[in-house]
């Protein structure tokens, strides 16, 4: 393998300028001997002498260096492949004097450029400029195999990004940037490229749609005038003018906005790979040829109104798909917004300063006040508190933490201030790795191929072949008759109705579902939910209300009041539950003499007046008040068996009451699960909460205990979802609420985020239930089954119509004019059947 050539002299701009400055002299002295040839590397027109024409010609020293580099590596096939793909030029080599040292600076790359380090290897993703075709991708990826230390390079032509894996002991990122610059490709941080590229592509597609819409509307009005003239009569010169204008508008639509389909089809033919643009381009091509001949000959119909409308609708569908992909690509950035953007750093002189989290370094000390979220992964160096981890693990009860323990970014600090030493930032944190799992799970998903697409593609080929057969069968009656019958067949058997059945039914159901509070961003949900498999539910906030509530009280109500007085000084779910219960019992907790004395591992200590009060779990109470008697131990055991979390209250170090806390199930949970079970779904729970609490909830809901799993991390949930999918043709449904479910939601066939889910879960899940009512899950399944029935019914009607119409056209009973009139009937039929159907309660 070759290492990166150390010399950059061949790409220096000074050399290029010298070469260019010498060019005028050559023109003056040898003007009669100069000819123009394209640069061998970049295809820029270049003057050369007759003698130089025998070998490679270069416009500058940079291109010469790139050519010699490619030739030296034995990658001459690059130029052959580029010629086959009809891309004769690439971006010229730029000024190499600019230097590339900035690529070794993490601040230059920014957080938007993913950089991962593992076992001496670094993975980095950057934006790449100058990509034109598959030859560019081939050259870069094959060049990687010739570089010592560059283990892998993968080009994403769709996003114009490149992902490297390289050995930092042998190679630097600046070396890779310099090398690619020599080949004619420039690297930049993703933050400087992707958003601008996506916005530019969005604008380009919208302009195409606007132009196609304008042309389609005008072509349609001209067609209306021509069709009306068949019955009312129209002057010959007026007919010719309208036909000519319609033909021009139609050709402008096909060759202008519609050229994107020809480009895709041509690329697919060259690469010998199937592509959805192939049948589209075939239909546009045949229709345009026939329409042009008819339009300028004055005989027959042009049908360009149909072609221009088809281009317009196809471009709209492509833009919608692009927008969905663009939203999906933002999921990673959205997840990082869950953690704070700013942090309070404690300096070496004990002063504090507020700054961006990205400006922190590993080893810094940060202060996390009560009520704030932890901005980094780190170790507590000072302070005791309790963390609400429901955002990360789904655990309903806060977890006590103290000096020396690990804390994760995204956890909410509920009691007292903490001092944390930074261990990981941004994408290196636990939540950053969950984010990566979401992205990977979304990428691994195989897109659902609709039945209409498969049959539609076969139908187009079959109709084309049948059209040729029809032409051959009728050619004995004259080529005009043969062309008329073949054209009638191609027009009347237009697969528009077949293609319309599925997307129209899905679009109508999506709108009706949205009006019912169910937001669906992926139409494949309907087909998946019609194939029952296993439905996994998160516990906290999904099957339960997501808030602690006092379920039982044993002992003194006065002790409950004193506990409420102490806890009201804490920002803690337990404090909220006690405050709500005191209010329902009409116990006053706003007592001025109450104060919080300290926070311990699993409890708090306070004073109300002259009485000392402790509130906490069993371990905390035994540490501060001594061993518990048999009575209280029995009550604690009874509460645990019922799935409640016991909270003890002592006054003057004597236990006075025990409170049972729990996150109660939603009122509609039982009926929803019963309906899903009736429809053939297997039900299970995946939760980060205590396994005993999870099993108790499952038992109360009538679920199989073997599928009630607790104590799971986000990675564990993802693993169970993946295991459920492996080797199974049944649908895996995941219903969740929280960041911890994001990866599992993305990995499932259908992910449903309920109310209360953070924005990231909505990016991972194709369904969002805005109302938070679990009855919406039942409505979603019902609506999906009805939508699939509408699709199959409409599809059958469209297919039946086309089969009858094709038979009549082959037999010669349909003229092109009648075909043009009949063609919309199938679409209108599908439209009526779909709009009159009752899905999602409408």
Task: Tell me, yes or no, whether 476 lies in a domain.
Answer: no
Per-residue pLDDT band at 782 (split at 50, 70, 90):
very high
- Separation of alpha carbons 331 and 275, rounded Å: 28
Tokens 């950053």, located at residue:
432
Mean per-residue pLDDT for 89-116? 55
By CB atoms closer than 10 A (0-12, 13-18, 19+), residue 711 is: middle
**Which residues does residue 753 pair with via DSSP β-bridges, in sequence order?**
736, 768
Residue 403 shares a structural domain with residue 369: yes
Contact call for residues 332 and 439 (beta carbons, < 8 A) = yes
Name the residue with higher pLDDT: 157 or 743: 743
Contact call for residues 62 and 185 (beta carbons, < 8 A) = no
- Separation of alpha carbons 407 and 836, rounded Å: 56
User: Which of 390, 407, 441 is where one domain is finished?
Assistant: 441
pLDDT (0 to 100) of residue 704:
92
Token pair, residue 410, equals 């995204």
Q: Other CB atoms closer than 10 Å to residue 524's CB: what's the count?
A: 17
Contact call for residues 130 and 186 (beta carbons, < 8 A) = yes
Task: Tell me, yes or no, whether 688 lies in a domain.
Answer: yes
The dihedral of CA 144, 147, 148, 149: what is its sign? negative
Residue 629 shares a structural domain with residue 650: yes
Residue 558 shares a structural domain with residue 656: yes
Per-residue pLDDT band at 770 (split at 50, 70, 90):
low
Per-residue pLDDT band at 443 (split at 50, 70, 90):
very low
Residue 262 has pLDDT above 80, yes or no: yes
Residue 166 has pLDDT above 50, yes or no: yes
Q: Are strands 406-407 and 377-382 parallel, antiparallel or unpaired?
A: antiparallel
Residue 559 shares a structural domain with residue 633: yes
Task: Tell me, yes or no, whether 317 lies in a domain.
Answer: no
Contact call for residues 835 and 508 (beta carbons, < 8 A) = yes
Task: Tell me, yes or no, whether 153 lies in a domain.
Answer: no
Residue 179 has pLDDT above 60, yes or no: yes
C-alpha count within 13 angstroms, C-beta hemisphere, residue 509: 33
The beta-strand segments (E) located in 198-310 are none
pLDDT (0 to 100) of residue 495:
58
Residue 211 has pLDDT above 60, yes or no: yes
pTM of the model: 0.52
Mean per-residue pLDDT for 297-320? 70
Residue 565 shares a structural domain with residue 605: yes
Residues 6+ apart with CB under 8 A from 676: 532, 535, 683, 777, 778, 781
> Cα 786–777–768 angle (5° rounding)?
105
> Residue 675: which of 767, 772, 745, 774 has the closest Cα?
774
Per-residue pLDDT band at 566 (split at 50, 70, 90):
confident
> Residue 375: which of 383, 384, 385, 365 has the closest Cα?
365
Name the residue with higher pLDDT: 89 or 401: 401
- Separation of alpha carbons 346 and 88, rounded Å: 59
Task: Tell me, yes or no, whether 419 lies in a domain.
Answer: yes
pLDDT (0 to 100) of residue 96:
41
User: Which of 747, 770, 793 is where one domain is finished?
Assistant: 770
Mind giving me the DSSP string for 109-178?
Answer: H-TTS-EEEETTEEEEEEEEE---SHHHHHHHHHHHTTBTTEEEEEEETTTTEEEEEEETTT--HHHHHH
User: Which of 735, 770, 805 is where one domain is finished?
Assistant: 770
> Cα 291–294–296 angle (5° rounding)?
105
Q: Other CB atoms closer than 10 Å to residue 374's CB: what's the count?
A: 25
**Which residues does residue 751 pair with via DSSP β-bridges, in sequence order?**
734
Instruction: Find the DSSP H helices in 740-774.
Output: 742-747, 759-764
Residue 828 has pLDDT above 90, yes or no: no
Name the residue with higher pLDDT: 745 or 461: 745
Residue 367 has pLDDT above 90, yes or no: yes
Per-residue pLDDT band at 824 (split at 50, 70, 90):
low
Residue 652 shares a structural domain with residue 747: no
Q: Return the percentage of the chain with pLDDT > 90, whole number.
A: 13
Q: Other CB atoms closer than 10 Å to residue 841's CB: what's the count?
A: 12
Please count the structural domains in the chain: 4
> Residue 375: which of 343, 404, 400 has the closest Cα?
343
- 340 DSSP 8-state letter: -
Q: Tell me the CATH number at 746.
A: 3.40.50.1000
Name the residue with higher pLDDT: 572 or 660: 660
Contact call for residues 229 and 239 (beta carbons, < 8 A) = yes
- Separation of alpha carbons 450 and 488, rounded Å: 28
- 92 DSSP 8-state letter: P
618-638 tens-digit pLDDT: 888 988 888 888 889 988 888
Token pair, residue 474, equals 């009728």
Range of the domain at 42: 9-84
Residue 573 shares a structural domain with residue 611: yes
C-alpha count within 13 angstroms, C-beta hemisphere, residue 41: 23
- Separation of alpha carbons 531 and 521, rounded Å: 19
> Cα 686–690–691 angle (5° rounding)?
60
Mind giving me the DSSP string for 423-466?
Answer: EE-GGGSHHHHHHHHHHHHHHHPPPP--HHHHHHHHHHHHHHHH
Per-residue pLDDT band at 378 (split at 50, 70, 90):
very high
Residue 751 shares a structural domain with residue 617: no
Q: Return the percentage of the chain with pLDDT > 70, whole number.
A: 66
Residue 536 shares a structural domain with residue 673: yes
Tokens 């000519």, located at residue:
244
The dihedral of CA 456, 457, 458, 461: what is its sign? positive
Q: What is the largest CA-CA distance in the chain?
A: 113
Residue 537 shares a structural domain with residue 561: no
Residue 7 has pLDDT above 50, yes or no: no
120-161 tens-digit pLDDT: 778 888 878 766 555 566 667 777 767 778 888 877 765 677
Give the CA radius of gyration of the chain.
35
495-542 tens-digit pLDDT: 555 666 666 677 778 777 877 777 777 777 888 898 899 999 998 888
Contact call for residues 418 and 724 (beta carbons, < 8 A) = no
638-658 tens-digit pLDDT: 888 887 889 999 999 999 999
- Separation of alpha carbons 360 and 342, rounded Å: 10
- Separation of alpha carbons 316 and 328, rounded Å: 19
pLDDT (0 to 100) of residue 3:
42
Per-residue pLDDT band at 17 (split at 50, 70, 90):
very low
Contact call for residues 366 and 375 (beta carbons, < 8 A) = yes
Residue 706 shares a structural domain with residue 639: no
Dihedral angle computed from the Cα positions of residues 390, 394, 399 and 405, in that order, rounded to the nearest 10 degrees: -90
Q: Are strands 549-555 and 654-662 parallel, antiparallel or unpaired?
A: antiparallel
Residue 334 has pLDDT above 60, yes or no: no
pLDDT (0 to 100) of residue 376:
92
Residue 639 shares a structural domain with residue 713: no
- Separation of alpha carbons 399 and 574, rounded Å: 11
C-alpha count within 13 angstroms, C-beta hemisphere, residue 115: 19
pLDDT (0 to 100) of residue 218:
87
Task: Tell me, yes or no, whether 466 lies in a domain.
Answer: no
Mean per-residue pLDDT for 349-377? 87
Q: What is the mean pLDDT of the chain?
A: 75
Task: Tell me, yes or no, whether 20 lies in a domain.
Answer: yes
pLDDT (0 to 100) of residue 151:
82
Q: Kindly list the distances between the CA atom of residue 797 and the CA atoms of 500, 737, 792, 802, 838, in Å, as whole numbers in the listed order.
A: 12, 41, 9, 9, 18
Name the residue with higher pLDDT: 513 or 685: 685
Contact call for residues 723 and 734 (beta carbons, < 8 A) = no
Task: Tell me, yes or no, whether 479 lies in a domain.
Answer: no
The dihedral of CA 646, 647, 651, 657: what is its sign? negative
Mean per-residue pLDDT for 672-687? 93
Q: Tell me the CATH number at 366.
A: 2.70.150.10
Contact call for residues 547 and 577 (beta carbons, < 8 A) = yes
């Amino acid at each position: 393998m070759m290492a990166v050539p150390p010399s950059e002299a061949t790409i220096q701009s000074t050399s290029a300028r010298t070469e260019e400055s010498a060019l005028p002299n050559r023109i003056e002295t040898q003007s009669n001997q100069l000819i123009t040839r394209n640069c061998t590397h970049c295809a820029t027109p270049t003057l050369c002498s007759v003698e130089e024409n025998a070998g490679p010609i270069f416009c500058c020293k940079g291109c010469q260096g790139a050519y010699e580099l490619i030739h030296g590596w034995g990658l001459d096939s690059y130029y052959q492949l580029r010629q086959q793909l009809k891309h004769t030029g690439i971006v010229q080599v730029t000024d190499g004097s600019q230097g590339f040292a900035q690529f070794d600076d993490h601040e230059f790359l920014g957080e938007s450029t993913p950089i991962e380090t593992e076992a001496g290897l670094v993975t980095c993703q950057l934006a790449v400029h100058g990509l034109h075709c598959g030859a560019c991708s081939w050259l870069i990826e094959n060049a990687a195999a010739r570089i010592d230390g560059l283990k892998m390079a993968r080009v994403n032509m769709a996003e114009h990004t490149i992902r490297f894996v390289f050995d930092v002991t042998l190679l630097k990122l600046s070396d890779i940037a310099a090398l690619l610059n020599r080949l004619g490709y420039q690297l930049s941080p993703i933050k400087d490229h992707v958003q601008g590229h996506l916005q530019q592509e969005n604008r380009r597609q919208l302009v195409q749609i606007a132009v196609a819409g304008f042309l389609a509307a005008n072509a349609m009005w001209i067609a209306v005038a021509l069709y009306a003239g068949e019955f009312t009569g129209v002057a010959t010169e007026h007919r010719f003018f309208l036909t000519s204008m319609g033909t021009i508008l139609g050709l402008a639509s096909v060759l202008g906005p519609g050229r994107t389909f020809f480009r895709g089809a041509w690329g697919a033919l060259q690469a010998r790979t199937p592509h959805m643009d192939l049948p589209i381009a075939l239909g546009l091509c045949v229709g345009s040829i026939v329409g042009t001949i008819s339009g300028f000959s004055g005989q027959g119909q042009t049908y360009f109104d149909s072609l221009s409308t088809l281009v317009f609708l196809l471009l709209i569908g492509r833009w919608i798909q692009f927008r969905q992909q663009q939203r999906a690509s933002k999921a990673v950035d959205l997840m990082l917004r869950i953690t704070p953007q700013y942090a309070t750093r404690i300096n070496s002189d004990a002063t504090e300063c507020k700054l961006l989290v990205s400006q922190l370094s590993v080893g810094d000390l940060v202060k996390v006040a009560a009520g704030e979220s932890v901005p980094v992964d780190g170790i507590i160096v000072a302070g005791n508190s309790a963390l609400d981890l429901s955002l990360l693990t789904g655990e309903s009860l806060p977890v006590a933490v103290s000096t020396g323990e690990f804390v994760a970014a995204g956890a909410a600090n509920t009691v007292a201030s903490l001092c944390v030493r930074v261990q990981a930032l941004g994408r290196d944190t636990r939540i950053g790795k969950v984010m990566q799992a979401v992205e990977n799970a979304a990428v691994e998903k195989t897109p659902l191929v609709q039945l209409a697409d498969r049959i539609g593609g076969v139908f187009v080929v079959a109709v084309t072949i049948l059209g040729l057969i029809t032409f051959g069968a009728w050619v004995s009656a004259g080529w005009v008759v043969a062309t008329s019958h073949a054209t009638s067949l191609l027009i009347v058997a237009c697969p528009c109705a077949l293609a319309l059945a599925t997307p129209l039914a899905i679009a109508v159901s999506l709108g009706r579902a949205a009006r019912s509070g169910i937001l669906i961003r992926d139409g494949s949900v309907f087909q998946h939910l019609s194939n029952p498999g296993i439905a996994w539910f998160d516990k906290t906030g999904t099957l339960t209300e997501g808030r602690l509530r006092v379920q039982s009280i044993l002992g003194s109500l006065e002790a409950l009041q004193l506990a409420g007085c102490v806890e009201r000084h804490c920002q803690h779910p337990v404090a909220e539950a006690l405050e709500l219960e005191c209010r329902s019992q009409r116990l006053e907790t706003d007592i001025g003499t109450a104060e919080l004395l300290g926070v311990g591992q699993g409890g708090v200590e306070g004073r109300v007046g002259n009485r000392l009060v402790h509130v906490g779990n069993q371990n905390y109470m035994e540490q501060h008040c001594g061993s518990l008697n048999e009575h209280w131990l029995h009550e604690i055991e009874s509460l645990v068996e019922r799935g409640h979390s016991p909270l003890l209250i002592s006054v003057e170090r004597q236990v006075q009451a025990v409170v049972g806390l729990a996150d109660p199930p939603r009122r509609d949970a039982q009926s929803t699960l019963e309906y899903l079970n009736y429809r053939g779904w297997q039900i299970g729970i995946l939760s980060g909460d205590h396994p005993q609490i999870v099993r108790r909830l499952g038992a109360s809901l009538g679920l199989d205990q073997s599928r009630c799993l607790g104590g799971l991390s986000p990675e564990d949930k993802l693993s169970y979802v993946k295991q459920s999918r492996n080797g199974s043709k049944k649908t895996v449904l995941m219903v969740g609420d929280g960041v911890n479910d994001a990866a599992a939601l993305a990995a499932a066939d259908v992910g449903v985020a309920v109310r209360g889910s953070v924005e990231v879960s909505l990016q991972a899940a194709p369904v969002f239930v805005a109302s938070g009512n679990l009855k919406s899950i039942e409505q979603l399944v019902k609506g999906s089954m009805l939508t699939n029935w509408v699709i199959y019914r409409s599809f059958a009607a469209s297919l039946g119509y086309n089969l009858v119409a094709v038979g009549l056209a082959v037999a010669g009973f349909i003229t092109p004019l009648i075909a043009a009139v009949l063609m919309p009937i199938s679409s209108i039929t599908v439209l009526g059947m779909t709009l009159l159907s009752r899905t999602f309660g409408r």
